[in-house]
Amino acid sequence: MSRLREFAKRNPNCKIHLVGHSDGSIVLPAAIDNMINSGVGISSVHLLAPAITVAQFSVTYLPHLASQKLSKLYIYNLSDELEQKDAVTAGILKYHKSPLYLVSRALEWGGSLSAKRKLPYWVCLDSFLSRHGRELPNR
């Protein structure tokens, strides 16, 4: 982290964007915490098909959003229809849905994925941020 901090000091116009795909969304908060605690600014965070649970997300990303230490977070997901059409194939075995369905059913308790997905993620995020005096940009 010290090398990144020194680089950021020498290059004040440099913008740092972080990207996490799938499990990367679970390990990325450690880097975000280290960067924020070291005074390294983050321009944006992009999560592609994040495999993080709602509980993990609420204690890792949301506090940084509420405090405005992290101001731009973008989440990219497939629609539920595309998740169901996706498939995981390993040799002769085939799971007829996306890895998200497989992982969420293995790691999260209670309810189906479709029940959890009835509200778009931004509804929950809007609710959290509005309680902390912030709002999401236009979708």
The 10 Å Cβ neighbour count of residue 64 is: 18
Domain assignments of the chain as residue spans, ordered by start: 2-78+119-131
Mean pLDDT of the chain: 75
More confident residue, 81 or 99: 81
Give me the numbers of helices (H) and strands (E) for the chain, helices first please. 7, 5
Round the CA-based radius of gyration of the chain to a whole number and report it.
17
| For residues 114-124, average pLDDT | 44
State the burial class of residue 26 (Cβ atoms within 10 Å of its Cβ: 0-12, 13-18, 19+). middle
State the burial class of residue 29 (Cβ atoms within 10 Å of its Cβ: 0-12, 13-18, 19+). buried
More confident residue, 103 or 28: 28
The pTM (predicted TM-score) of the whole model is: 0.65
Question: How do residues 7-38 score in pLDDT, each as one tens digit?
Answer: 988 998 889 999 998 888 989 999 999 999 98
The pLDDT-based confidence of 119 (bands split at 50, 70, 90) is very low
